[in-house]
Amino acid sequence: MPDLQFALVVSALCTSGLETLNVPEELRRRVFDACWALVSTDPPPTNPRERVLDLRFGTELTLDAIVAAIRQLFAEAGISTLTWDHAPSDPTRPSSPAAEPLIDRLQKLYPDPPPTADPSDRN
């Protein structure tokens, strides 16, 4: 997974409130706070809705530091793989008309697999 995607997914998971994520709440807070300290001079927000990393203005060096901090904190805690159990959510809003052509192309490129009755058919 590319570093930017890794950093965004991990920070989102750490602030998601998912009860089934295999990361203790205290470690989630530490991961987010460490990443926040690398992109902001302000203290980390306490309001859960504001605990979002904005990496648009960061540099490659900032991203490298965020990835290193995440990996170090997880390694110290003995976590090598993130796992959770959460059913996919329905979209919260429709796609914009400008995005429809891209969505159509992606659906042609990656069509949904046909349903199978026998789970052993999934190889």
Average pLDDT over residues 93-117: 81
CB atoms within 10 A of CB 71: 14
Is the pLDDT score of 122 beyond 60? no
Average pLDDT over residues 106-111: 84
**What does the alpha-carbon distance between residue 59 and residue 55 come to, in Å, rounded to a whole number?**
8
- Report how far apart, in Å, the C-alpha atoms of 93 and of each of 40, 70, 96 are: 30, 31, 9
pLDDT given at position 96: 83
**What does the alpha-carbon distance between residue 62 and residue 94 come to, in Å, rounded to a whole number?**
34
pLDDT band at 93 (very low <50, low <70, confident <90, very high): confident
pTM of the complete model: 0.68
Is the pLDDT score of 121 beyond 70? no
Which of 34, 10, 32 shows the shortest CA–CA distance to 22? Answer: 10
To the nearest 10 degrees (0 to 180), the angle between helices 25-39 and 3-14 is 130
| Percent share of the chain, pLDDT over 90 | 59
What is the Cα 5 distance to its own chain's centre? 7
Contact 21, 84 (CB under 8 A): yes
Average pLDDT over residues 42-48: 94
Least confident interval from 5-19, 21-35, 37-51, 92-106: 92-106
- Which one of 5-9, 86-90, 117-121 scores highest in mean pLDDT? 5-9
Selected residue with higher pLDDT from 110 and 118: 110
